Amino acid sequence: MRKALNNLLKRWFTQADTEPQQVAAPTTPQKPAEIPSPDATAVVTAVAPATIPEPLKPEAPAKEQEVFVAWKPRIAVDAIFFDWVMGYPGEGSSMETEQKILQALFALLASDLNDAVVVPRVPTVIPQLLNSLRNKSVSASELAQHIVKDVVLVGELINAVNSSLYNPADRINSLDKAIMILGEDGLRLLIAKVAFRPIINLSSGQYTRRAAPHIWNQSEKCAIACHQLAVGQDPFQAFLTGLMKNVGLIIAFRLLDQVCEEPRFKYSRGFSMAFTSAAATLSYRVAQRWGFPAEVVQALQQQAGGSKAPTWAPLGHLLHTADLLSKMRVLVNHGQLKSGDEHLRVGMSPQAAACFDTLNDVNLYEQGGSEQKLLTE
């Protein structure tokens, strides 16, 4: 069985190089594949392309479409980040445990996600945010009508405008004044962050509790990087895409809590790659389910392939870069990477390097007990 699963994982990622979107949908939707008994071949069957919904078709390319090349750091950023989130390096392989976890993940991918208790519901304020994204005429006062119904959102807005970032002469306790200070764009960003935090910080079990703070830290920085690098694109849409990137990873960790009772287990690099690939697929499936814009879903879908995508969409390429930059910044800030490593910035564009430096100073929410305060933007 060990040899069979090793061959399976090797085949999975070898195919990813030649067919990057193996986890994507066929051109014609089909009913989810039936999940067979948990043996090595079951893992392959469970993720057969027929089990994944139809992928979004990108719009017809322009006459002179810009070709985006994915940046590949010389440091194994994804592997280091996964070990850090897990709390320990894999140090080998526990074939039976790996198979059980991957089988559960791929079975979830083969479902329609409607009945999965590990899949969060869309935050109530997100549809209004998406509507405001599509309809630029939506005013701050209209957004405020939704905010006033949520005590947590009101508190976050008041705390934000009274922080050292805005430094008002007198404390502001009025929602109208807070909205006036933040402006419509600042208001949208703050609402999105507040709405996503409970999803990322779900503490359902030992693995999720350990991973959630690190995942939220990186998610926040990824969203900020997307917003900063969104030249020629909608900055708020890019920000939402960055926040959505790790929703699938949280779902995967919640599922891990359900199927693995061991506090830790040995895992191989092939396992971590399959786990994060499935998590990325879950992110775009959830974004699709929540009614996110087609460009956002496509960008998320492109993160779920192998080592490269056939053709990067602008937002997909942006998310790829922002995800790596935010992971590197978090790892450096927590001593997992050395800031002076000469390989750290190899291949970075000037814009990416500037963003990487900016992220060092960004810590939007510092948690101290139950108090959360806005620091910098």
What gap in Å lies between CA 265 and CA 100, rounded to an integer?
A: 12
Per-residue pLDDT band for 308 (boundaries 50, 70, 90) equals low
* Among the ranges given (36-50, 57-71, 232-246), the one the predictor scored with the smallest mean pLDDT: 36-50
pLDDT at 286 over 80: yes
Q: Quote the pLDDT of residue 203.
A: 64
* Cα Rg, the chain, nearest whole Å: 21
Q: What mean pLDDT do residues 55-73 have?
A: 64
Q: Quote the pLDDT of residue 249.
A: 95
Q: Quote the pLDDT of residue 377.
A: 32
Higher-pLDDT residue of 294, 127: 294
Count of C-beta atoms within a 10 Å radius of residue 279: 22
pLDDT at 85 over 80: yes
- Global pTM reads 0.74
By C-alpha distance, which of 10, 59, 42, 24 is closest to 300? 24
pLDDT at 269 over 60: yes
- Which positions ≥6 away from 279 have C-beta within 8 Å? 105, 246, 248, 249, 251, 252
Q: What mean pLDDT do residues 288-310 have?
A: 83
Q: Quote the pLDDT of residue 161.
A: 83
CB 23 within 8 A of CB 304: yes
pLDDT at 168 over 60: yes
Angstrom CA distances, 348 to 101, 235, 257, stand at 35, 21, 37
For 190, the token pair is 């703050």
- pLDDT tens, residue by residue, 206-237: 999 999 999 999 999 999 999 999 999 999 89
What gap in Å lies between CA 79 and CA 92, rounded to an integer?
A: 14
Identify the helix (H) or strand (E) that includes residue 351: helix 350-359
Per-residue pLDDT band for 291 (boundaries 50, 70, 90) equals confident
pLDDT at 177 over 50: yes
What gap in Å lies between CA 337 and CA 31, rounded to an integer?
A: 44
Per-residue pLDDT band for 139 (boundaries 50, 70, 90) equals low
Q: Quote the pLDDT of residue 162.
A: 84
Q: Quote the pLDDT of residue 246.
A: 95
pLDDT at 248 over 60: yes
- String of DSSP letters for 275-290: HHHHHHHHHHHHHHHT
By C-alpha distance, which of 250, 189, 191, 190 is closest to 218? 250
pLDDT at 126 over 70: yes
Q: What mean pLDDT do residues 156-162 have?
A: 81
Please name the amino acid found at residue 318: L
CB 67 within 8 A of CB 127: no
Query: What is the share, in percent, of the chain residues with pLDDT greater than 90?
Result: 44
For all residues of the chain together, what is the average pLDDT?
Answer: 77
Please give the DSSP secondary-structure letter assigned to residue 61.
P
Q: Quote the pLDDT of residue 368.
A: 30
Measured CA angle at 328 (ends 362, 336), to 5 deg: 105
Q: At what angle do helices 151-161 and 175-200 cross, to 10 degrees?
A: 120
- pLDDT tens, residue by residue, 312-366: 999 999 999 999 999 999 999 999 999 889 899 999 999 999 999 989 876 543 3
| Size (the chain), residues | 377
Q: Quote the pLDDT of residue 310.
A: 59
